Amino acid sequence: MIKSKILEELIDRWLTKVGTLVAIFITFRGHNAPGGGFAGGLILGAVFVLQYLAGQQPTIRRKPILNPERLLGLGLLLALVTTATPLFVGGAPLESYIWSITLPQIGKVKIVSSTFFDFGVFFVVVAVVLMVLTFLGTRGGAISHEPTDGAG
């Protein structure tokens, strides 16, 4: 495979960083404007697809602790915990709470609990893109449990 050094540099230096920032911006923006976790996740996913097309492994794959399945689980968990938490304080599932806090220098900041849900969705979407890049075309049977003690 011929790798284009310039393309690689360009993507690594610019697109990855700018794309990640845009993705996070879009995710935060989603509360009151078009955007949100799903759109943000797709943008970051597109960044990984570009990296992949440029002949690199998507960055997250280099860190084994964040393998895509785990990321998928953590994202789903984050979204579901946000869904279920209101039940413990007497609300309805998925109910959203808003807190305002005043930070020094920055001023008034509004924190919305549904942002956590959005980030859960964000991670799920990113993980799905990564899993598509990793597993599409491999044999399903080749994937098995990480070594467990005598599970058999």
Partner 1 sequence: MSSLVALPILIPLVAAALMLVVRNLFAQRAISFVALLSSLATATAVLVDVWNTGDIAVSRLGGWPGSFAITLVSDGLSSVLVVVALVVTTTVLLFAVGQQTPDEHSPYYHPVYMALVAGISQAFLAGDLFNLFVAFEVLLMASYVLLTLEGNRAQIRSGTTYVVLNIIESVVLVMAVGLIFAATGTVSFAELPERIAALPDGVRMGLHLLLLVAFGIKAAVFPLFSWLPDSYPTAPSSASAVFAGLLTKVGVYCLIRVQTLLFPGELSNVVMIVGVSTMAIGVLGAISQHDMKRILSFHIISQIGYMVFGLGIGGAVAIAATIFYLIHHIPVKTSLFLVEGIIERNTGSSSLDDVSGLARKSPLLAVLFLIPAMSLAGFPPLSGFLAKFALVRGGLSAEQYIGVGVAIVVSLLTLVSMVKIWVGAFWGEVAPTSLINSVGVLRQHRSMATATAILVGFTLVIAVAAGPLYEFASRASDQLLNIERYISAVRSAS
Binding site for partner 1 (CB under 8 A): 69-70, 72-74, 76-77, 80-81, 83-84, 86-87, 91-96, 139-141, 143-146, 148, 151-152
Question: Which residue, 21 or 87, is less far from partner 1 as judged by CB?
Answer: 87
Q: Which residues pair with 109 in a beta bridge?
A: 101
Shortest approach of partner 1 to residue 11 CB, angstroms?
29
φ/ψ bin of 133: left (φ > 0), alpha (ψ from -120 to 50), beta (otherwise) = alpha
Query: Considering the complex, what minimum distance in angstroms separates the CB of residue 112 from partner 1?
Result: 13
Q: How far is the CB of 46 from partner 1 (least distance, A)?
A: 23
Q: Which is nearer to partner 1, 46 or 61 (CB)?
A: 61
Q: In angstroms, how far is the first alpha carbon of the chain from the final one?
A: 41
Tokens of 10: 């360009």
Q: Are 44 and 19 in contact (CB under 8 A)?
A: yes
